Structure 1
Amino acid sequence: MIKNNRVGQHTAKLLLASALALTALSGAASAAGELHLYNWSNYFAPDLLERYEKETGTKVTVDNFASEEDLLAKLQAGGGGYDVIFHGTTTLGVMVEKDMLAKIEVSKMENFKNLLPAFTSIAGDENRDYSAPYMWGTTGFTYDPEQVPGGKLEESWKELFEPRDELKGKIAMLNEMSDVWNAAAYYKGIDKCTEDPAEAQVILDVLMAQKPDVKLYSNDGTIDRMIAGEVPVHMQWNGAAHRVKAKKPEVVYVYPKEGTTFWTDVIAVPKDAPNMEEAKAFVNWMMSPEVAAIASNYTGYSNAVAGSGEFLKEDLKADPAVNTPAEYNDRLRAYKACSPASKDLREKVWTKLKS
């Protein structure tokens, strides 16, 4: 009887300790802090935000930027107070050079082992000290066969830069300096990292000649715009094209024969991030297979995480806009780290185009 009573007391103490521990954990979760993300619009699965908040107790908020130029300008001006930012390799290189990013040592994070070998290094951040890969894809153009002459367009940038009469004034372009510059450079057979002012003038001439035929330059709403039939042809990222196909299966995504930009977006942390530890934990979390797959299923882009394939939707795996057919591999043009002189020419051309 006495022995049983002691056992009962011991059990009660254990239960009390467990209850206190759970209370403490609950309190820790609710006080886990905040996380402020800065990303393109429509480029992160809402389900992932909810999942991360439930798993960690961290309150997550998201702001959107319209272009990477806007992102860079805002951060350089000291604005935002963001913890995690999503952007491309060109901006990554600039930020590393300007000492704007925190050295979070992604290569030492637990989930780094999940990355595909091709993504364990990147130009501008060769050791993966500052960034983790997010989505990757291509920049081509999408057209609706029902709205173009003869129902088919040539696999060439000519369809955008020298559009047929029926398409003049109906072309939509991305509002992204690098993508637009690169496409014009490919079309004219010019090195996209050229330092030659004469070649930059050729690119400017192509873009200025095209400008009257462009209905708008925009990174936002490219999916809805094509679905609604507002434009018949749209310079577009392949993931956006995939999401258009979900509503309009007949649309065609083109890998232009002159060259198609192959890009990788990254996740990084500003040097002055107010919630540094939460930011590091989030970056590590994003490199887990199921999480990466959920991101791909929403955005329509491929990810860089091994093992994510089993969680991907079948239509994503089957779409040639997402999984580039082998015959187009020689059209893909990878990111190049251009010199300051080359970047300066690009910025001058862009400024003149948009003025």
Structure 2
Amino acid sequence: MGSTRQLLLAAVAAAGLLATASAAQAAGELYFYNWSNYYPPELLAKFEKETGIKVTLDVYDSNETLLAKLQAGAAGYDVVVPSDYMVQILIKGNLLQEIDAGQMADFKNVGAPHDKPWYDPERKYSAPYMWGTTGFSYDTAKVEGGKVDDSWWSVLNPDGPFKGKLGMMNDPVEIYKLAAMYLGIDFCTESSEDAGKIFKVLEAQKPSVALYNSDGTIERMVAGEVIAHMQWNGAAHRTKEGRPTVTYVYPKEGINFWNDNFAVPVGAKNVENAKIFIDWMMKPENIAAASNFTGYNNAIKGAAELMDAKLRDDPAVNTPADLLSRLNPNRNCSPAAVDLRDRVWTRLKS
């Protein structure tokens, strides 16, 4: 009995030491670089409480801002949130490190096709966060007849229904692509003639645009500062909560379909903590909380039943079956095509 008791006490002590070691390993810091207004503060607090890891959040407004920051050698970020096409660019630029997300304990919860995406088919560098679309929203109470055509022309028309009260994103990829879709041009065109047509449409639109800003779209629409805004669908969902007369449009010429992801940049100081965070976010209850805050869908099986019913039932979030054909997925363009797009954007913003 005494010997058994001693063995039992030793086992308990060993378990305590293991628990202490585990907590010590998890303790520390995590520097999180994310899109603005794209992660619930209460979920960060939950993560900190459960792991002992202190999180510092910094924000950006576009994939290009993230890319420039990492290319400039910004060190210290442990987790970043690039979109699909940007994941591939960062991989090719040796700016992300392998984390083998596909081998993490909770990766089993990732549903197809997000488990093997085109930009990281083995999920060596990234894990899924949110996915959605980029269309436009408008206040039906502020337009004649309460409705506009479900076309990008409603946004691009310099004398259209939103003239002077239109907000556009400050995003060269998104804006160039919407103009290309409207014109029926491949957004990865290498034709300078095609790029010229895209520029002319955007140049003609410019005087009717109140501002180019990807931040604050929800607040701007709710406050009535603009009556229409190029907007992500999750932001549109949250806008309608503050201004119920707002509706989200899937333009008939096509709408950008994107996926955002967690990744770890080269130079991260807290890699193990980053992996703990990423795996933690693949648990249904955690990603569901993020979806309820952001207004976007996620890739995790079992999360849907934990999401708010109003989110599941909003066509801005769950694309109606008859509109699925309008979704136009992201892809990376050739250097020649990217150069044309950059030249159009630089000239437009000058």
Same fold judged by TM-score > 0.5?
Answer: yes
CA contact (8 A) 2:158 2:206 kept: no
Match in the other structure for 1:67 = 62
Match in the other structure for 1:129 = 124
Q: How does 1:20-99 map to 2 (within 5 A)?
A: 21=17, 24=20, 28=24, 32-99=27-94
Structure 2 distance, partners of 1:86, 1:125, is 14
Secondary structure of residue in 2 paired with 1:261: strand
Secondary structure of residue in 2 paired with 1:119: coil
Q: How does 1:161-180 map to 2 (within 5 A)?
A: 161-164=156-159, 167-180=162-175
**Structure 1 residue 149: Cα displacement:** 2.0
Match in the other structure for 1:335 = 330
Structure 1 distance, partners of 2:145, 2:66, is 41
Structure 2 distance, partners of 1:318, 1:124, is 30
Residues 206-232 of structure 1 deviation map (CA, whole Å, 9 limit, x = unaligned): 111111110001111000111111100
Compare 120-129 and 138-147 and name the one that shifted more: 120-129
Which letter does structure 2 place at the counterpart of 1:325? P
Q: CA RMSD in A?
A: 2.2
Change (3 A) 1:12 1:333: closer
Structure 2 distance, partners of 1:255, 1:80, is 39
Match in the other structure for 2:155 = 160
Residues 274-300 of structure 1 deviation map (CA, whole Å, 9 limit, x = unaligned): 111111111111111111111100000
Secondary structure of residue in 2 paired with 1:236: strand
TM-score, scaled to structure 1:
0.93
In structure 2, which of residues 111, 119, 126 is the aligned counterpart of residue 116 of structure 1? Answer: 111
Compare 228-237 and 72-81 and name the one that shifted more: 72-81
- Correspondence 1:183 to 2:178: yes
TM-score, scaled to structure 2:
0.94
Structure 2 distance, partners of 1:13, 1:226, is 63
Structure 1 distance, partners of 2:22, 2:239, is 42
Match in the other structure for 2:348 = 353
Change (3 A) 1:133 1:15: closer
Instruction: Tell me the matched-pair count.
Output: 350
Compare 103-112 and 297-306 and name the one that shifted more: 103-112
Mark the runs of 5 or more structure 2 residues left unpaired by the alignment. Answer: none
Match in the other structure for 2:219 = 224
**Structure 1 residue 133: Cα displacement:** 1.1
Larger Rg: 1
Which letter does structure 2 place at the counterpart of 1:253? Y
Structure 2 distance, partners of 1:16, 1:118, is 44
**Structure 1 residue 197: Cα displacement:** 0.8
The percent of aligned pairs where both chains have the same amino acid is: 51
CA contact (8 A) 2:158 2:204 kept: no
CA contact (8 A) 1:123 1:337 kept: no
